[in-house]
Amino acid sequence: MPSTESAAGVAWDRRRELQAFDDTKAGVKGLVDAGVTALPPIFRHSPESLEGITSSNHVAGAIPTVDLAAPRREDAVALVRHAAGTVGFFQVVNHGVPAELMAGMLEGVRRFNEGPAEAKQAIYSRDQARKVRFASNFDLFSSAAANWRDTLFFHLAPDPAPSEELPEAVRDVVTEYGHAVTKVGLSVLELLSESLGLSSDHLRDMDCAENLNAVCQYYPPCPEPYLTWGTKRHTDPGFLTVLLQDGMGGLQVLVDGKTWVDVPPVPGAFIMNIGDLLQQ
């Protein structure tokens, strides 16, 4: 079993510590509840991965806001065309999803993560085939360092899990939320199709919206946040991500390959992220 040398010169068995953390089935929140005061070594990222990031919130218009109820549809199409072809992100407003439903989804995820450990342990799994599961870091055993977050996952379409398999904290909201977000996604796919000079139903007819997963990230307070990531830099693998950001913010987008731009939360907005499959 491989081990590494710690700063104190004592052999450190990384694999064993990873396994011990995973075996708790309590996630990062479990560490916080246990009173951790220093960042465990498995979460410490290399200095190189934490340096050299230029962040700005002053890149004017970098992440545009698209009004889905705009009176001039061609204006919305033009905004989507520009955003999708440059940064790959834009926000949408007037999408028809009630504010109460959006708030209810965020609150349900918070209640689950801050609720009884038994509820999390009951669905803790690394089995990618499970339609409802909770875990911390899907790549825990393969990444160079873990991220400081926990994840609640639902497969919502096609063939969703029975409602009785959903955690009680989100059971009354997640299915309705999934239906509402699907409608938003379809509206955006129509705009994307038109921005490519195609008929509005082109991407929909390619079944780009047939598969729906909800990936709910939770970021507990971190004792040494400057040594780790909540979510490290990445791209999303699917067609389209509909992101609901809470009021805390924290999302950054890379612009022109050199500047990380803060994406401040816009009340009532969804953030749209063009995925790798659609980019191709």
Q: Which domain holds residue 229?
A: 13-272
pLDDT band at 185 (very low <50, low <70, confident <90, very high): very high
Q: Residue 54's pLDDT band (boundaries 50, 70, 90)?
A: low
CATH number of domain containing 120: 2.60.120.330
4 inside domain: no
Q: What is the pLDDT of residue 171?
A: 97
Q: Is residue 206 part of a domain?
A: yes
Is residue 203 assigned to a domain?
yes
SS (H, E, C) the chain: CCCEECCCCCEECHHHHHHHHHHHCCHHHHHHHCCCCCCCHHHCCCHHHHCCCCEECCCCCCCCEEECCCCCHHHHHHHHHHHHHCCCEEEEECCCCCHHHHHHHHHHHHHHHHCCHHHHHHHECCCCCCCEEEECCCCCCCCCCCCCCEEEEEEEECCCCCHHHCCCCCCCCHHHHHHHHHHHHHHHHHHHHHHCCCCCCHHHHCCCCCCEEEEEEECCCCCCHHHCCCCCCCCCCCCEEEECCCCCCCCEEEECCCEEEECCCCCCCEEEEECHHHHC
Within a domain: 279: no
Residue 1 lies in a domain: no
Question: How many structural domains comprise the chain?
Answer: 1
Q: What average pLDDT does the chain have?
A: 92
Asked if the structure places residue 52 within a domain, the reply is yes
* pLDDT tens digits, one per residue of 14-44: 999 999 999 999 999 999 999 999 999 999 9
Percent of the chain with pLDDT over 90: 81
Which range has the worst mean pLDDT, 94-98, 128-132, 259-263?
259-263
Q: Please report whether residue 2 resides in a domain.
A: no
- Average pLDDT on 63-86 reads 95
Confidence of residue 66 (pLDDT cuts 50, 70, 90): very high
230: in domain: yes
Digit-coded pLDDT (tens) for 209-234: 899 999 999 999 999 999 999 999 99
Question: pTM for this one?
Answer: 0.92
